[in-house]
Chain A
Amino acid sequence: MTEHALDIRNISKQFGGIPVLDNVSITVSEGEFVALLGPSGSGKSTLFQMIGGMMRPEAGNIMISGRQVTGERGHIAYMPQQASLLPWRTVAANVELALEIGGVPKAAARKETRQWLARVGLGEYADAYPHVLSGGMQQRVSFIRALLSPQRLMCLDEPFGALDALTRMQMQQWLLSIWEENRRSVLLVTHSIEEALLLSDRIVVLSAKPASVLEQIPVPFDRPRDERLWSTPLFNEMKEQIYELLKPANGAGGAGQA
């Protein structure tokens, strides 16, 4: 079989006897963008914490690039829901630090960071402290930081969940354009159906707690994509279909805000 960027096999996890993840299996191929869609509280962040090695599953294995990494840290490039920039480091220094922790030599990290910040229009903020940036800007830095990290798999946990609707749409466009010219393996957690459809190659739909995989849906839209997709009939048809899947009647809890 082929080597996946991420191969999660039969993961189960419970907290104090209450099952949160129930026999979940997910794969991400090399260069594939997979969206993980599920109601809040279904266990998506918990799954990420396990991929990141912060906790161990009761059952199952996690493989990254063919290597067994269950319970090990440092194998993923990570973008958390909050930007999580160190407030005493400038924007550039924050990005550089993530690269250095990932094992990139200092000089190379510096050069790469400067180049990319300029390239994505954040050049003038390179030497600013994070608190002067807006929420959207901070998330851009956080994304670039994950993108430049040497770990091959990017895990994005509701990266735009805390942003207002307009900023969120701009950020989706921005991420899409950067990702499409720099394809990395991505696992994106979201509870927005539109976001999953716009960005991903495949959508994995999780049930409510305890989460299990309800369905895997390939997203057929050609790339490069843009916001015109939103008004196409197929987009709206698929949106309806997934919405039906996530309805409480199908065993999923209310798909509310996180």
Chain B
Amino acid sequence: MGSKLRRGWPPLAVILLFLLAWQGVVMYGGIKPYLLPSPIQVIQEALSDKVWPRLVEHTLATAQRTLLGLFLGTAAGIVLSMLLHLLPGARRGLSPMLILSQNIPIIVLGPLLMIWLGFGELPKIVLIVLVCFFPITVAMMTGLRQSDPRLANYLAMIGAGRWTMFRRLELPGAVPYLFSGMKIAAAYSVTSAIVAEWLGAKSGLGYFIKLSASGFFTARVLAATGIIVLFSLLLYGLVAAAERWFVRWKPQGEGGGLQP
């Protein structure tokens, strides 16, 4: 616990310093609040009676979309990776197309989905799912192919068939990779939810930001941005916590991935 605190110190200090510098620049630099409000002004605006209830409402809308999209995207990514792994023919046929599909910018995908699926909740969820499944599929497929050849040899020698090999060796071995993919997907899911809301929605932080920006309510834009950042961090933390539980069989200090 103590070492965790010690490691948490430098990034926290940097953030604090950044906020202080920002506050100082705005206060003593004579910058107009509609261009750049100070952190304190942003917080005051966020907590004001007029803004706070709306922020809460939009945050909940965004959170709901993000979580649903991330969940469905993860499920789709897992299923797809397993199919591609178990059917080598499908892997060879589909992989190039999958990679190509990632070159379509989501800013283009959004309007297309709205043309095809209407203006309801569906195209937004689909957008998040489409963005999330890819890192999951790629990470999971890598994991499924990484199994230790010595373990595979042992299991084959004692008579394990293809299915046992998959279920007992390849699948559990891919779990740490799945979590690496999920950490990326978690970040993507928030961003794509915001984009989907920006492109056409009547709720959510993306919608709120678009509205506030067009009215030059810069403090509100920044307040919503702060919430997005905090929400992303929370999501990452949740995935990391789930990882620690599911991958508790690994020796300490071997956990891969980005440092939160």
Contact = CB atoms under 8 A, between A and B. Distances in A.
Interface of A: 49, 52-54, 73-78, 80, 82, 84, 86-89, 97-98, 101-102, 129, 131, 149, 151
Given A75-B159, A129-B249, A131-B250, A80 B164 contact: no
20 contacts: A49-B153, A52-B158, A53-B157, A73-B156, A74-B158, A80-B153, A80-B157, A84-B154, A86-B151, A86-B172, A89-B172, A101-B160, A101-B164, A102-B158, A102-B159, A131-B249, A131-B250, A149-B158, A151-B158, A151-B159
Query: Mostly helix, strand, loop or mixed at chain A's interface?
Result: loop
Contact of B156 (A54, A82, A151): A54
Nearest to B246: A88
> Interface centre among A53, A87, A89, by most B CB within 10 Å?
A87
Nearest to B160: A101
Given A80-B150, A86-B168, A131 B158 contact: no
Query: Mostly helix, strand, loop or mixed at chain B's interface?
Result: helix
Contacts of A129: 248-249
B150 A82 contact: yes
B215 interface: no
Nearest to A86: B151
B169 interface: yes
A87 B159 contact: no
B199 interface: no
A54 B251 CA distance: 31
B157 A76 contact: yes
Contacts of B150: 80, 82, 84
A53 B155 CA distance: 12
Given A73-B157, A74-B159, 12 more contacts: A74-B160, A80-B150, A80-B153, A80-B154, A80-B157, A86-B168, A86-B169, A88-B173, A101-B155, A101-B158, A101-B159, A151-B158
Contact of A84 (B151, B164, B251): B151
Interface string B162-198: 0010001100110100000000000000000000000
B198 to A, nearest CB: 42
A136 to B, nearest CB: 18
Contacts of B155: 101
Nearest to B164: A101
A84 B250 CA distance: 15
B249 A87 contact: yes
A78 B160 CA distance: 12
Contacts of A87: 249-250
A103 B154 CA distance: 16
Nearest to B159: A74
Nearest to A132: B251
Contacts of B173: 88
A49 B156 CA distance: 10
A78 B158 contact: yes
B157 to A, nearest CB: 4
A98 B250 contact: no
A54 B150 CA distance: 13
Contacts of B248: 129
A77 B156 CA distance: 11
